[in-house]
């Protein structure tokens, strides 16, 4: 009877974690879109939906060449259904994140056990940067989903040789390509390819099936290739990146991703070989240390020729991680695509060493330590950032989360469960605080979106608004229209009289030099919210980090 009660208790806690995750994701929907990337992608989706043109990618009515079409197709469809708002843009990302968790469960169940699948899905749903990416939505939820989707169907195909699985795997590859280009298929291709090499399955490697995969994938990405051709290749007179004759198809296959890796494309960066090693510590928190142990354990099994159940995930992770680390262009969210693999590897080491008392005790202590660190950081963040008490619901959730975690630790003596459930509850409680308390206040310093909200509240005429000397994207999305931009070179050719102008301090000086009489309607405090620093977080020094932007009328 006691064993059955414990089983029901564990299932209840798992249900609570899943439901709590959904609540945290849902709260994130209402957070204002962040500049620049999420707001840019939302603008593109809005223009695609309003124009009913799914073939061309436009931003402010001009050709835009960076990410391929799939994400914009999906979000444009949702915007047409739910309207030009946060729900229309963010909901599909959450749904694809949940689908990724489901396929992590399926993969774990298929190649390990049902318990493994459930635990791995929890690890993925509660990883810090997965939660962030469902708030600050870019391409990552789609990449995360279709990476594990494609790997799962190819792995299942290699077992049963059913053609439908091969087609579905190819579809996953096609979506990855149509979301972020050629680099995005590396985790799947390296995972399958290196695992087959390791098992010396030369017949499988040289099989005609892979030619079929290439053919199917090319067929499935043909909408993107045709769209790129007719928007760019067929119009060599168009100027992109300061040059004419730019090929959209070449950019798709080379410059977009491989060009970033080799630093030969139009978009360049500076790489650090250790960047992703330390980034993973917080991005896959609170599970990162366990994940490193899982990678080490799986690699050790492969070297010692022990049964590894499957090696697709470790080969896919390690190979892509090395490639990312060698790249000249690195951003934290690049890791998200590998998180399904990490979740599976993390669950593997935890269950593989479930009878190793010393291992479980060490990680139990580490998990408790990480949870305490997160709670302390939230308390410090609030004390330094705010001058008031948190919202009542935030206080209730944080206290309930801490109490529930302590209750579980005291009343459940199974180390493996104590390693999983309390940290999951704590990380979700912390992110509830961030989504409900911190981010909403932080976004008040994003003047581009604050401008839109002010104009809506004051019922100012949006058709008279122009932007001068200031980049903005979220303004357009929340005002649901393209806002014209004016450059200094254009001031000599056009007149701004009777218009509303959004600009910064330098823009005000230039308008004054051109002889315009200005009346300030609203002054905004401005900060680049995705580039937080200690001086900004500290309320005592925040003012020194702020710049000002202005909404002015031209007399």
pLDDT at 509: 93
pLDDT at 2: 40
- pLDDT above 60 (res 3): no
Identify the weakest region by mean pLDDT among 11-20, 225-234, 251-260, 292-301. Answer: 251-260
Q: In sequence order, which ranges of 386-470 are alpha helices (DSSP H)? A: 392-411, 415-433, 439-442, 447-458
pTM over 0.85: yes
Please answer whether residues 151 and 312 qualify as being in contact, where contact means their C-beta atoms are separated by less than 8 angstroms: yes
Residue 102's nearest CA partner among 59, 145, 64 is: 145
pLDDT at 412: 78
The SS3 of residue 540 is coil
| Cα dihedral sign, 240-242-244-249 | negative
- What is the CATH architecture assignment of 446-554? 3-Layer(aba) Sandwich (3.40)
Token pair of 503 as six digits:
């600009």
Rounded Cα–Cα distance for residues 321 and 235 (Å): 38
Annotate 88-112 with DSSP letters as a single string.
HHHHHHHHHHHHHHHHHHHHHHHHT
User: Long-range contacts for 541-548 (Cβ within 8 Å, ≥24 apart)?
Assistant: 546/445, 547/504, 547/505, 548/504, 548/505, 548/523, 548/524
Annotate 301-349 with DSSP letters as a single string.
HHHTT---S--HHHHHHHHHHHHHHH-S---GGGGGGGHHHHHHHHHHH
- Percent above pLDDT 70 for the chain: 95
User: pLDDT averaged over the chain?
Assistant: 92
pLDDT at 332: 82
Rounded Cα–Cα distance for residues 140 and 540 (Å): 35
pLDDT at 50: 96
Of residues 264 and 276, more confidently modeled: 276
Please answer whether residues 187 and 321 qualify as being in contact, where contact means their C-beta atoms are separated by less than 8 angstroms: no
**pLDDT (average), residues 352-370:** 93
Residues of the chain with CATH 3.40.190: 446-554
Please answer whether residues 42 and 93 qualify as being in contact, where contact means their C-beta atoms are separated by less than 8 angstroms: no
Read off the pLDDT of residues 363-415 as tens digits, 9 standing for 90 and up: 999 999 999 999 999 999 999 999 999 999 999 999 999 999 998 888 877 88
Read off the pLDDT of residues 509-551 as tens digits, 9 standing for 90 and up: 999 988 888 999 999 999 999 999 999 999 999 999 999 999 9
Percent of the chain that is helix, strand, coil (3-state, to 5): 70, 5, 25
Of residues 333 and 112, more confidently modeled: 112
β-bridge pairing 485-486 and 465-468: parallel
Read off the pLDDT of residues 410-451 as tens digits, 9 standing for 90 and up: 887 788 889 999 999 999 999 999 999 999 999 999 999 999
Confidence of residue 4 (pLDDT cuts 50, 70, 90): very low
User: Count of CB atoms within 10 A of residue 459's CB?
Assistant: 7
Read off the pLDDT of residues 159-214 as tens digits, 9 standing for 90 and up: 999 999 999 999 999 999 999 999 899 999 999 999 999 999 999 999 999 999 99
Read off the pLDDT of residues 447-498 as tens digits, 9 standing for 90 and up: 999 999 999 999 999 999 999 988 889 999 999 999 999 988 888 777 788 8
């Amino acid at each position: 009877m006691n064993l059955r009660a414990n089983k029901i208790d564990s299932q209840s806690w798992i249900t609570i974690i899943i439901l709590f995750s959904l609540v945290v994701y849902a709260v994130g929907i209402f957070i204002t879109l962040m500049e620049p990337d999420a707001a840019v992608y939302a603008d593109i989706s809005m223009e695609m939906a309003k124009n009913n043109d799914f073939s061309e990618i436009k931003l402010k009515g001009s050709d835009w060449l960076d990410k391929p079409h799939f994400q914009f197709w999906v979000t444009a469809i949702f915007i047409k259904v739910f309207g030009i708002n946060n729900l229309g843009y963010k909901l599909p990302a959450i749904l694809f994140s949940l689908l990724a968790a489901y396929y992590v469960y399926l993969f774990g169940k298929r190649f390990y056990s049902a318990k493994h699948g459930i635990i791995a899905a929890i690890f993925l749903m509660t990883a810090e940067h997965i939660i962030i990416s469902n708030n600050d939505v870019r391409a990552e939820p789609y990449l995360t989903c279709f990476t594990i989707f494609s790997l799962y169907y190819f792995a299942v195909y290699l077992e049963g040789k059913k053609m439908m699985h091969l087609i579905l795997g190819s579809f996953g590859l096609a979506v990855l390509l149509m979301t972020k280009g050629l680099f995005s298929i590396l985790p799947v291709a390296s995972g399958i390819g290196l695992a087959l090499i390791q098992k010396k399955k030369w017949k499988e490697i040289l099989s005609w099936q892979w030619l079929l995969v290439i053919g199917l994938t090319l067929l499935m990405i043909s909408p993107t290739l045709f769209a790129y051709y007719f928007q760019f290749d067929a119009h060599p007179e168009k100027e992109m990146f300061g040059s004419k004759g730019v090929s959209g198809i070449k950019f798709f296959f080379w410059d977009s991703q491989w060009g970033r890796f080799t630093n030969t494309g139009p978009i360049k960066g500076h790489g650090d070989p250790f960047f992703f090693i330390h980034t993973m510590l917080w991005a896959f928190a609170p599970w990162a240390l366990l994940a490193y142990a899982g990678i080490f354990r799986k690699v050790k099994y492969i070297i010692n020729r022990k049964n590894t159940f499957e090696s697709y995930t470790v080969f896919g992770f390690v190979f892509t991680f090395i490639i990312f680390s060698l790249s000249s262009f690195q951003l934290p969210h690049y890791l998200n695509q590998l998180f399904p693999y990490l979740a599976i590897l993390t669950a593997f080491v935890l269950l593989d060493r479930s009878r190793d008392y010393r291992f479980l005790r060490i990680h139990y202590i580490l998990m408790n330590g990480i949870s305490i660190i997160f709670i302390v950081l939230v308390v410090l963040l609030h004390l330094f950032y705010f001058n008031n008490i948190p919202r009542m619901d935030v206080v209730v959730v944080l206290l309930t989360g801490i109490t529930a975690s302590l209750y579980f630790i005291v009343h459940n003596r199974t180390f493996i469960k104590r390693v999983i459930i309390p940290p999951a509850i704590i990380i979700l409680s912390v992110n509830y605080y961030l989504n409900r308390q911190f981010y909403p206040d932080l976004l008040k310093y994003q003047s581009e979106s604050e401008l839109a909200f002010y104009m809506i509240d004051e019922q100012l005429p949006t058709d008279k608004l122009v932007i001068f000397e200031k980049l903005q994207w979220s303004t357009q999305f929340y005002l649901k229209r393209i806002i014209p931009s004016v450059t200094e070179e254009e001031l000599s050719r056009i007149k701004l009289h009777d218009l509303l102008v959004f600009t910064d301090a330098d823009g005000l000086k230039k308008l004054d030099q051109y002889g315009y009489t200005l009346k300030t309607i609203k002054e905004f405090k401005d900060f680049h919210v995705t580039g937080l620093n200690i001086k900004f977080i500290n309320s005592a020094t925040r003012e020194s980090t702020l710049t000002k932007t202005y909404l002015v009328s031209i007399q």
